[in-house]
Structure 1
Amino acid sequence: RGEDSTQVSRGEDSTQVSQEEESTQVSRGGKRKNNSASGASKSKRSRPELGSKTSPFKSKSEDVGVLGGDESGSKTTPSKLKVTRQAVNGNEDEKQDARLIGEPVPDEEARRRWPKRYQGVEQKQVVSKNSKDENDSEIIQARRHYTQAEVDGRVLYNLYDDAHVKAEEGQDYYICKIVEMFEAVDGTLYFTAQWFYRARDTVMKKLGHLIDKKRVFFSEIRDDNPLDCLVEKLIIAKVSLNVDLEAKKKMIPCCDYYCDMLYLLPYSSFINLPPEDKTNCSEASSTISTDDVNSVNEEKSQYEEASQASNNKKSQVTLLDLYSGCGAMSTGLCLGANMAGLKLETRWAVDLNKYGCESLKWNHPETEVRNESAEDFLALLKEWERLCVLFSLLKSENLEKQSFNPFRTEDDGDDDDNEEDDTEGDVFEVEKILAICYGDPKKKGERGLHFQVRWKNYGLEEDTWEPLEGMGDCQECLKDFVTRGFNSKILPLPGDVDVICGGPPCQGISGFNRFRNKENPLQDEKNKQLKVFMEIVEYLKPKFVLMENVVDIVKFAEGFLGRYALSQLIHLNYQVRMGMMAAGAYGLPQFRMRVFLWGARPTEKLPQYPLPTHDVVVRGVIPLEFEMNTVAYDEGQKVELETKLLLEDAIADLPAVGNYEHQDEMDYDKDPQTEFQRFIRLRKEEMPGSSPKAKPAKHLLYDHRPLELNVDDYQRVCQIPKKKGANFRDLPGVLVRDDNKVEWDPSVERVYLKSGKPLVESVLFHFNLC
């Protein structure tokens, strides 16, 4: 190894260490490799430390890499690169592969823009108190900063240029923005990279194929790399997120990549790009690629004005509840929104369960409740839009009246020939049209658009469902129905819905399903509702989307379904974040961890998750890969959580009932003993955020009735001891073996009920239960 070569740059007395001529590779969050035969210079970079959290429920985990902080402005500290000072073999006058050129940044300005680089050699900046390597906590100290560099003697880089960076052999180059160029106090030349990520390198992983290959996502993670790691300059266009997908393709200029979102690892967040500021590029600021800085601020202003105008226009925010059941999710959302001063109302609801729909309609008479599948609902929405266009109630560039004539099924000549035959039978006159649906209400195997018809001079029992094709002779009645429905918004059109919420069922990933499709869960018919949910979002284009599901969507098949849902919303130009919340951490007497996926249009602010309020008894396991998606407090943050709730806190005030209780309503026999019991007794009009419309009424207890057992089973249940986990194994005559299987106890005489039947039936032993 030769002596360190000294090279003067532009007349300055700067000592610069030349780089190895062999290729140097860097890896974001991984290791940098040197391919030189001698291996004289090796660099190792530790994985970025993750901002850990304090949660009411703990889980065993390992450190996870982080790409950036949250929207509050806090950013994760980038990982540090440890470089060995390089020596140069051969002539000292040999030209370097990489060098900083031009005049250095004035010392005063450099210290103002990058103060941590000029703290002195003896000072170190701690970036993570959890770091096991003390060298990782040292910020490289600079001798001077530059704004230009030359690599390979031919490529000139300017500060804030976008560039390709060397990666591992056989891998695509990394993509970065150069946000800093400096010479270290030991003479080593560095640039600071702020990284862009391809879709496949984000949480989407193999679902990244759903995203355009030229679309990249900016991050807030930065780290320092040797200057000779730069490969080539790039053109990365900044594109507005708030445009139609097809329009976006047309407006993308000639470029290597385009970027329209910022990617943050906490909660797997994809959000609007921040405004660019090239004049104050300290380590706490982010930059984006654009030709005009002012255009960013103008676009943001336009977004805010559009959102404000929409809010002023609508005094009420509308919500569509998909897979609604009895409406618990939408009811909770509306209550919370009303407490925050937002008038949110469930305008439409859809569910396949008849009784759930009846319950929702009873409690929310103002809601249009549809008892049908989500697929039929989507098909109905599309047909409804075509009808509105047909009767000139709606203008659409994609749906022309000439292309949609549902009443013309034969040539006019054929109609004239058959006119006499048509009048020979009975003629029924339509009095009015009552409802509309898509499907097969007559159970004849003929799916399509149908209308519920009230016939003139006939009663309610004679109402029938008729297909659209048979309504040609009553177009006036049809037009009247569509006009009334359009004005009252019995069905939403694109742009009518502000919020869509729902929990699409995914029974195909249930642990009870022994034949789960691990390769492609979407091919399973039981999981297709997730795809239907996203198709409805794509069609209606709501401002906000909130999807809830079980934790298995991020556990099963490497989180395939969770990644699919997130990538689909990104594909539709929604800002996205995904969090996991436990019901017990918010004051319920059960753990019940669920995944919540937020989506927001670019014109809106992506909502945050509420932080836990209660301690909780932990159940189940949190997936390690998605641990940063757990909603919790930051590590070190002191917080006083309320005491965890147990089952007794929820039901201790309930009166005792027997097997033969038949009352649907009864009085409480004691006052509420906990805050939860007090809250659960409240009537709808007494809920926080509600406006009372009636005088306070007495609190009654409803449906406090057990399932009535027959006499024999009731006598058996009474024999079960009152202890945790007790069952038939605790009855006399049952022997539990060492292998935990059961058999008759020969030393105990068999016990019989009053009816003569055995207390323990033989069928329980035939299963050889364990």
Structure 2
Amino acid sequence: MSYSVACSTFANMRAENDGAADSDTTSDISCEEGKPVADLVTYSLLDLYSGCGAMSTGLCLGAELAGIKLETKWAVDMNSHACESLKHNHPSTQVRNEKAEDFLSLLQQWKALCNKYVIHGSNSLASDLAQASNDDEKDENESLPKDVFEVERLVDVCYGDPNKTGKNGLWFKVRWKKYDASQDTWEPIDGLSDSYECIKEFVQSGYRDSILPLPGSVDVICGGPPCQGVSGFNRFIKPDDPLTDEKNKQLVVFMDIVNYLRPKYVLMENVVDILKFADGFLGRYALSRLVAMNYQSRLGMMVAGCYGLPQFRMRAFIWGALPSMVLPKFPLPTHDVIKRGLVPNAFSRCLVAYEETANKHLRKALVLEDAISDLPEVQNHQPNDVMEYDSDPKTEFQRYIRLSSRDMKGYSFEDATPKKGQLFDHQPLQLNNDDYARVQQIPEKKGANFRDLKGVRVGAKNTVEFNPNIPRALLSSGKPLVPDYAMSFIKGKSSKPFRRLWWDETVPTVVTRAEPHNQAILHPTQHRVLTVRENARLQGFPDYYRLFGPVKEKYIQVGNAVAVPVARALGYSLGQSLRGEFVGDQPLFKLPESFSCMGQAAATGSSVGVVEAE
């Protein structure tokens, strides 16, 4: 491999570049072009730490636009509500609600079972099933004692401790004869020594249906392993050796799964802090693991707003590709963006952006009004998770985001198309009575926040203080109108508590919590926080994408997601690589003009940089 500082690229030194014209652009495409689905080769995708499936959704949409059929075959996440959302929107996906390390152990056990019962066709359990029964088979018609249960079939498998026995192992979910699914139980494999035929049938059927991936059967692995050890909220942060921190363990597990399954491609996403914390230790570790596994690799930092969203949200992405495959490039921005945030100096060459002198022809930056101005007005208390639109879309973004899954060319979720006119999850987190009373007194104007409430004044150095000439206002509950935590937040210098967003603004990033106490999340003109659907719009979720769980859990799913348009652009890059379209050693490429179906009118010809370090 050769190493290039640009996008920290480790790539094969290919002879194919000899005589080939270097290019950083791709041929133009149309959303209507491409072969019929039946004529496309299907590539399989495993979504690790999947959440509700935003990353895989975007990858599948983008790959299709490049003429590649990518299907989310498997997904794994610990959040049961996120798994329910993903399963609803991807009904053909095998969704597993479990820890990633248990999933890896299960894959290893599953391979052994497949070797035994499929590859070698064994008819017995042999020594790995302790205390095997030598009893004669019972006649099926023979009646059983009341306290004896007979296995009808096996319906699922897992590795872990589902019965909380204190011991991990391989377990099967059993359907008992004369009982329905509500009576299914998890049983350890060594407790099923009389049921080897059931195990054999389950394994053979599961192998045929690919209920679990085997080494070499996965084309793409994507995922965002949580690295909570780099968070500023972690009181026990370990900068000297981050991998000894249990909160960073999942990065190791992610790479271990990659090493076991050996997919053609890997795409890992994470917060930019992995490139800042401890001199970028965790980012360097991820790159080094891929290179040590003989993968080509490439690192890039992408800004969600650069791909047509009214939020900034910078994230780090790492591509991995087997030596036999074409290493994907990073797609250059399609939209201008309102600049925020800092770029890690050590990785400044990894920012996915145009050079300052380049002729960018970016589309106009999107703002809040572009994304949510067509949504119906709702109250602080809105119990219905399904409602009707009450107006037509007003912007190109809104027209696009309302498209059905078929119109977005998404193969993985054809069955999830909603009925015409239905709007899902347009619900705000209901504020308590005191907070609702406070929000009602926040003026409906740009920049309004708790500082506009009675009795607050701004003193020296933009620090808030109570006005001594005005008695402290109280709510009907007896609580103060202006709470102490708002006055003391960031030593009184912050204007975020109870701040309204405004129509011509963007948000720094969509958050997982909807409380207005220390962040700007109030609707511009309604007395409430942004709804789940409004946050989902800011993340680029299509309106057909329905979420499950309590309202608080839905906010978490949306806030933790990869912005769908970013994943869509990366999916197009993946598709181009699978087709062998990329030539040259440049790490970035320009998306075709017709790629951005959700852009604003025409290019602005802006000469402003995509993003700058502040």
Match of 1:350 in 2: 76
2:3: which partner in 1? 263
Report the counterpart of residue 32 of structure 2 in structure 1: none
- The range that moved more, 708-717 or 441-450, is 708-717
Partner of 1:705: 427
Residue 386 of structure 1: aligned partner = 112
Q: Which amino acid aligns with 2:425?
A: D
Change (3 A) 1:314 1:602: farther
In structure 1, how many angstroms separate the alpha carbons of the residues matched to 2:65 and 2:485?
A: 55
1:324 to 50, 54, 65: 50
Match of 2:387 among 654, 666, 677: 666
Say which is worse superposed, 324-333 or 589-598, in terms of deviation.
589-598
Q: Which amino acid aligns with 1:551?
A: V
Structure 1 pair 582–767 and aligned structure 2 pair: CA distance change class (3 A): closer
Shift of 1:671: 2.4
1:714-766 Cα deviation digits (max 9, x unpaired): 22211122345544343213455537666553422343444555434567679
1:393 and 1:483 in contact (8 A); partners too = no
Q: Which of 520, 524, 539 is matched with 2:260 structurally?
A: 539
Aligned residue in 1 for 2:540: none
What is the TM-score with the length of structure 2 in the denominator? 0.70
The alignment's TM-score, normalised by the length of structure 1, stands at: 0.56
Residue aligning to 2:91 = 365
Question: Which of the pair is proportionally richer in strand?
Answer: 1
In the TM superposition, residue 459 of structure 1 has moved relative to its aligned partner by 2.8
Opposite residue 341 of structure 1, the aligned amino acid is: G
Deviation string 1:253-277 (CA, Å, 9 cap, x unpaired) is xxxxxxxx12222211111222399
Q: Say if 2:124 and 2:196, in contact at 8 Å, map to a contact too.
A: no
Q: Deviations over 1:71-98 (max 9, x none)?
A: xxxxxxxxxxxxxxxxxxxxxxxxxxxx
Check whether the contact 1:686–1:692 (CA below 8 A) recurs between aligned residues: no
The equivalent position to 1:730 in structure 2, one of 432, 449, 452, is: 452
Indicate the RMSD between aligned Cα atoms, in angstroms: 3.3
- Tell me which amino acid in the other structure corresponds to 1:641: L
* Distance in 2 (alpha carbons) for counterparts of 1:441 and 1:719: 50
Name the amino acid aligned to 1:486: Y
Matched residue, 1:581: 302
Go from structure 1 to structure 2 and tell me whether the alpha carbon gap of 1:693 and 1:437 turns closer, same or farther (over 3 Å shift): closer
**Bigger mean CA offset, 751-760 vs 337-346:** 751-760
Task: Please tell me whether the aligned partners of residues 390 and 404 of structure 1 are also in contact (alpha carbons under 8 angstroms).
Answer: no
Per the alignment, residue 628 of structure 1 pairs with 349
Which of 10, 14, 30 pairs up with 1:274? 14
Separation of aligned partners in 1, 2:418 and 2:461: 59
Is the counterpart of residue 408 in structure 1 residue 130 in structure 2? Answer: yes
Distance 2:199 2:415 in 1: 38
Instruction: Specify whether residues 762 and 582 from structure 1 end up closer, same or farther in structure 2 by C-alpha distance, changes over 3 A only.
Output: closer
Residue 600 of structure 1 and its aligned partner are, at CA, apart by 0.8
The number of residues matched between the two structures is 467
Of 522, 527, 549, which aligns to 2:243?
A: 522
Structure 1 residue 562, shift from structure 2 partner = 0.7
Separation in 2 of the partners of 1:346 and 1:741? 51
Q: C-alpha deviations, 1:407-433, integer Å up to 9, x for none?
A: 1359x9xx89xxxxxx99943211111
Residue 284 (structure 2) pairs with residue 563 (structure 1): yes
Aligned-pair identity (%): 58
**Which letter does structure 2 place at the counterpart of 1:344?**
L
1:769 CA displacement: 5.2
Residue type of the partner of 2:316?
V
Q: Which has the larger radius of gyration?
A: 1
- 1:377 corresponds to which of 77, 100, 103: 103
Unpaired stretches in structure 2, ≥5 consecutive residues = 23-37, 136-143, 493-614
1:595-610 → structure 2 map (5 Å cutoff): 595-610=316-331
Match of 1:18 in 2: none
RCO higher in 1 or 2 (8 Å CA, sep ≥ 6)? 2
Find the residue that maps to 2:179 and give its secondary structure.
Answer: coil
Correspondence list, 1:133-152, <5 A: none
Letter in 1 for 2:405: K
Give the aligned residue type for 2:365: K
Correspondence for 1:234:
none
Q: How does 1:95-494 map to 2 (within 5 A)?
A: 261-275=1-15, 315-393=41-119, 405-409=127-131, 426-494=147-215
Q: Please tell me whether residue 639 in structure 1 is matched to residue 348 in structure 2.
A: no
Q: Is the 8 A contact 2:42 2:71 kept in 1?
A: yes
Cα distance, 1:536 vs. partner?
0.2
Q: Which moved more, 1:371-380 or 1:567-576?
A: 567-576
Checking the alignment, whether the CA contact within 8 Å between 2:376 and 2:390 is kept in structure 1 is yes
SS at match of 2:359: coil
Match of 1:507 among 213, 217, 228: 228
In 2: Cα distance, 1:324 partner to 1:683 partner: 22
Structure 1: which 5+ runs fail to align? 1-260, 286-311, 417-422
After superposition, what is the alpha-carbon deviation per residue over 1:604-625, rounded to whole angstroms, capped at 9, x for unaligned?
A: 1111111111111111111222
Bigger helix fraction: 2
